[in-house]
Structures are given as structure tokens and as C-alpha cells.
Chain A
Amino acid sequence: DAGVTQSPTHLIKTRGQQVTLRCSPKSGHDTVSWYQQALGQGPQFIFQYYEEEERQRGNFPDRFSGHQFPNYSSELNVNALLLGDSALYLCASSFYGKGGGAGTQYFGPGTRLTVL
């Protein structure tokens, strides 16, 4: 049973560019959450997707956007990259079902983004 997978593993971009990160949830999970972890900090919640819609959003600008596909996989897009966007981007999946409440979130290995 594959766990949460993310691609790419590492990415280097320059300021002003755009980036797309991808996540495949754990088998049986229907919810994907994205987090940003800066060096020395805990992960910060970006947003969560369920049934292909953004269900909740953290304190991140509109430059951060996402998408969830019918197969539950998800993408995180960041436009107009800033130096401060350099971080480990983590995807977490969980099972929500039909209002059954939040399930345990399992994290993927992350994508390490460096903005030069």
C-alpha cells in the first residue's frame, strides 16, 4: 500500500517564476492538505482540498493556489516566487468521508523548494 507521494523531490527556481508541486494521497484517502515548513519552524497550514474544492485556507496570499483532481491527487501552485517561499512543502492526506470527521493526516516526504 503506497503512502503519500510527492513530486518533485527538489526544485530550484528564481524569483518571479511559477512552480507546480504534485501530491498523490494514500490509498483510500479523499482529502489533501498542504503545509509549508520553513527552516527551524513547524509546518504551517496553507489549504485543504476535499471533493475538488478548497475547504479551508491558512494565512497565505493568493499567489498560493491549488487544485484537486477526481482521483483525489492534488497540485499546489505558487506564482511570482519570492525568496521567502524557499521551504519544504508537505502534502498530507486523510479520510473525511461523508462528514465522518477528520481522520489522521499522513504526510508525504515533501518537496524542497529553493528560490534564488
Chain B
Amino acid sequence: RKEVEQDPGPFNVPEGATVAFNCTYSNSASQSFFWYRQDCRKEPKLLMSVYSSGNEDGRFTAQLNRASQYISLLIRDSKLSDSATYLCVRGNDYKLSFGAGTTVTVRA
């Protein structure tokens, strides 16, 4: 079983819509979690860290459920510029373990 599993999508949504997707992880001792964003043929960039209490960064809301071992990301009021692959990431002191990514396309 992969360490981090994501729904690959694609999620194709109109501008202004809300889109949400999850990922699951297998290591219950995992320490930290993140969402990274990756544009086509570019490097991953940190979008936000994920905390058990849930956290928001503008239009983005992340949630961590340690009991069920899943992480979610919600994007409100989608913009064309939100089109990207979103990578769910589990981290420890040394390495990041990535999911394969969820592709989101926002259409005009």
C-alpha cells in the first residue's frame, strides 16, 4: 500500500465554484502534513501546512483527521490560476512522502 494515496481527478470546475478533495495516508505515526501545488513541468511549491484543528489560508481550507488518517483540501471561489496538480504530502524529520497528485482544472 502506498504511503499517501490521492484521487487523481481530474476535477474540472467552473470559475467561482468550490472544489474539495481528499487523500489518505497509511502511517499513523506520521508527524506533519502539507499540501503542495505543482504547475505543469514546474517544481512543487508549498501551498499550506495542515493542522488537526483545521486551517485556512484565504480561499483554501485544509483539514487533518488523524483518527481516520485522511487529509482534505477545499478551494472556494475557484480562479483560473488555481488550475494545477495538488500534491498531498506526509513529512517526518527527514523526508517528504508525496501522493501522485490531484489535477484541478478551472474553466472560464
A complexed with B: yes
Mostly, the B contact residues are loop
Q: Which residues of B sit under 8 angstroms from A48, Cβ to Cβ?
A: 94-95
State which of A40, A90, A104 has its C-beta within 8 Å of the C-beta of B43: A90
Q: Are A40 and B100 in contact (CB under 8 A)?
A: yes
Nearest residue (CB) in A for B36 is A107
B17 within 8 A of A: no
Q: Are A102 and B93 in contact (CB under 8 A)?
A: yes
Q: Which residues of A sit under 8 angstroms from B45, Cβ to Cβ?
A: 107
State which of A42, A101, A102, A106 has its C-beta within 8 Å of the C-beta of B46: A106
Q: Which residues of B sit under 8 angstroms from A104, Cβ to Cβ?
A: 46
B61 within 8 A of A: no
Residue-wise, chain A 76-116 has the 8 Å CB interface mask toward B (1 for contact) of 00000000000010101000000001101111111010000
Chain B residues within 8 Å of A, Cβ to Cβ: 4, 32, 41-46, 87, 91-101
